[in-house]
Amino acid sequence: MGPKRPGRNRRSPVKSLLLHGTLILASLIAIGPIAWVLLSSLKPGYAIQSSELTLFRDTTLANYSYVLTSTNFPRWFLNSVIVAAFTMAIGIFFSATTGYAVSRFNFPGRRPLMMVFLVTQMFPVAILIVPIYTIMARLGLINTMPALIIAYLTIAVPFCAWMLKGYFDSIPTSLDEAAALDGCGPFATFWKVVLPLARPAVAVTAFYTFLTAWGEVAYASAFIQTDNRFTLAYGLQQFVPQFNPQWEYLTAAAVLVTLPAGVVFFFAQRHLVSGLTAGGTKG
């Protein structure tokens, strides 16, 4: 190691090989499990459960057509989309307003609020379920989507507000002042000037809130009781009976579940690094 001249753009072939080799290996590990599930989903059940492993065998889309037509999957999918979309929209709005308030205004209760956000991350979901269930029941929200949306917001908003606060901190306050001179109220300043500049962080928030709602199982299984209200994450558990999991349908369903998350990821990924940065640096 240790070339004495500035050589960050030109590295030796060996080093280059090592670098790319490591990254390729890491990438393979990263996509491997998903790719394997994808390949398996194209095989019939007997091929999945055989101990002889092949990449392709009797390729078929039968698993997909079974999942899409013979189960309530499309309905669950729609439910999940609704829950995730609302969680995302409301989550972005409240995280942003809260993050902005905490970033810009030195109001009484600001520091305690930041601490509260951290402390909420410490509550084990499994333990909160019962008391939240009681509250939801009292509000008459059991077996409705708002119950899930509200519950997911409590998971996602504290972290997102924290992250957005960090990003807002990195936007110069001189912009706010200029907007105020132009006659913008604080909310207009936030909405028209600062929020558009925080697009990367908003993208990460969108990604995070969406994923929280999309993949959550515990609350969904506690609050939703009828089959036509299930979300995907919970509905899929029905393919996993205690003793005889239907692997072939599970693999196909897993792929179908991951696709929308992948789409959201695709739109958000450009912003992930820059969006998360400030949030991390300015805890």
Q: Considering the rule CB under 8 A, would residue 178 count as an interface residue with another protein?
A: no
CB of 4 to another protein, least distance (A): 6
Of 161, 194, 157, residue with least CA distance to 176: 194
Q: Considering the rule CB under 8 A, would residue 100 count as an interface residue with another protein?
A: yes
Cβ–Cβ < 8 Å for 90, 153: yes
* Contact residue for another protein among 42, 102, 145, 203 (CB under 8 A): 102
Q: Considering the rule CB under 8 A, would residue 247 count as an interface residue with another protein?
A: yes
Q: Considering the rule CB under 8 A, would residue 235 count as an interface residue with another protein?
A: no
Q: Considering the rule CB under 8 A, would residue 142 count as an interface residue with another protein?
A: no
Residues 111-140 that bind another protein (CB under 8 A): 113, 116, 118-128, 130-132, 135
Element (H, E) at 116: helix 110-120
The DSSP symbol for 238 reads: G
Query: Which whole-number Å values give the CA distances from 139 to 128, 236, 252, in the listed order?
Result: 17, 28, 37
Of 36, 32, 33, 37, residue with least CA distance to 253: 37
CB of 228 to another protein, least distance (A): 20
Q: Considering the rule CB under 8 A, would residue 89 count as an interface residue with another protein?
A: no
Judged by CB under 8 A, the stretch of 62-70, 71-79, 171-179, 275-283 that binds another protein is 275-283
Q: Considering the rule CB under 8 A, would residue 19 count as an interface residue with another protein?
A: yes
Q: How far apart are CA 208 and CA 91, in angstroms?
A: 10
